[in-house]
Amino acid sequence: MTYHYKLMPSPVGELTLVAREGKLSAILWEAERANRVRLGELIEANHNPVLLETERQLTEYFAGTRNQFELELDFAGTDFQKQVWQALLTIPFGETRSYSQIAQQIGNPKAVRAVGAANGRNPISIIAPCHRVVGASGGLTGFAGGLEAKQYLLTLEDRGQVKMAF
C-alpha cells in the first residue's frame, strides 16, 4: 500500500502528514518511535489535496482559530484500537479524559491498560486528540510527541488550565 506524505513545520516540531486514497492516515512526530505506526511505502506529495487541507487546518489550530477538524480519517489498526481512537474524537476541545473514562466509554471498564496502549499507537495525533487523555490524577502521562508537546497542546486548547471531566 502506498501512502503520500508532506512535512509541516509546527510549534511542536516538524510533523509528517500522511494520506492514502483521499483520507488522512497519520500525523507523525519529528522523533517518531520506529514502528509505532505501521505504514506502507511513503512517497512525498507536497501538493496532495488532503495533505494541503490538513496543513491548513492544523495551521489554524496552532494559531488558535480552529477548535474542530473537518477531515476524512483512515484509521488502520485492530477493531479495539479503532474503538479507542473513535472515542478520542468525542473528547471536546479544551477538556481531558482519563484512560479509565475512555475504557468505560467503550464499554470495557477493565481495559484501562489496553486503552493506554491503543492511545499510544494512535496514528492521527492532534486530530484524534490522544493528548487530551491524562492519568487518573489529572497528571500528564506518556505521549508519542513528548510530554512538552502534550503540555503545549493542552495549554493551547485551554489557555493554560486543564479541565478534567468526571
Cβ–Cβ < 8 Å for 119, 36: no
Helices 112-120 and 79-88, interaxial angle, to 10°? 80
41 sits in which H/E element: strand 41-44
Q: Out of 27, 87, 130, 149, which one is annotated catalytic?
A: 130
* Per-residue DSSP letter, 13: S
Alpha-carbon separation of residue 68 from 61, 64, 87, 104, 127 (angstroms): 8, 11, 15, 24, 8
Please say if 72 is a catalytic residue: no
- Show which residues are catalytic: 130
